[in-house]
Amino acid sequence: MKIIAIDLGLKRIGLAYSGGQGIVTPLEAVERKNRNQASAAVKKVIAEWEADAVVIGIPMGGSSEEEMRRRVAHFMNLVDFEGPVHYQDEAGSSIEAEDMIKGKVKYKRDGRVDSIAAKIILERWLRANPA
């Protein structure tokens, strides 16, 4: 199964891809200028990689979970994706991503951390949902 993972942020949207065998690759993040531009860019990536499903990170168990589910559902409605959409707890994924690249590359806000966070989210989902 081909899966795109999304780490939805207000400034950048991190993306990652898995074509199976548990291998997950971070993709180039989308700079978010507005909702319509961002949803069109994500839709293009989903089509380009021929994704069968989408996994989106949300903070689970907290007071903001319901609000985030509503926002994610609205965003995915704009993306107009017909396949299954799965939610995965994103707790700590951005911090884990920052720790992974610390010292290896000069840290800058270019979307690398966001896409590595999406990779972590997808890896967590794949571990919890083995094929």
Angle at 87 between CA 86 and CA 93, to 5 degrees: 130
More reliable by pLDDT, 104 or 91? 91
Tens digit of each residue's pLDDT (9 = 90 or more) over 35-84: 899 999 999 999 999 999 999 988 877 777 788 888 888 999 999 999 99
β-bridge mates for residue 18, sequence order: 3, 24
Number of Cβ within 10 Å of residue 29's Cβ equals 25
Residue 94 has pLDDT above 70, yes or no: no
pTM of the predicted protein model: 0.83
Residue with tokens 């961002």: 38
User: Which domains, and CATH codes, for the chain?
Assistant: 3-128 (3.30.420.140)
Rounded to an integer, what distance in angstroms lies between the CA atom of residue 86 and that of residue 35?
20
> What are the two backbone dihedrals, phi and then psi, of residue 55, each rounded to the nearest 5 degrees?
-120, 125
Mean pLDDT of all residues in the chain? 85
How far apart, in Å, do the first and last CA atoms of the chain sit? Answer: 9
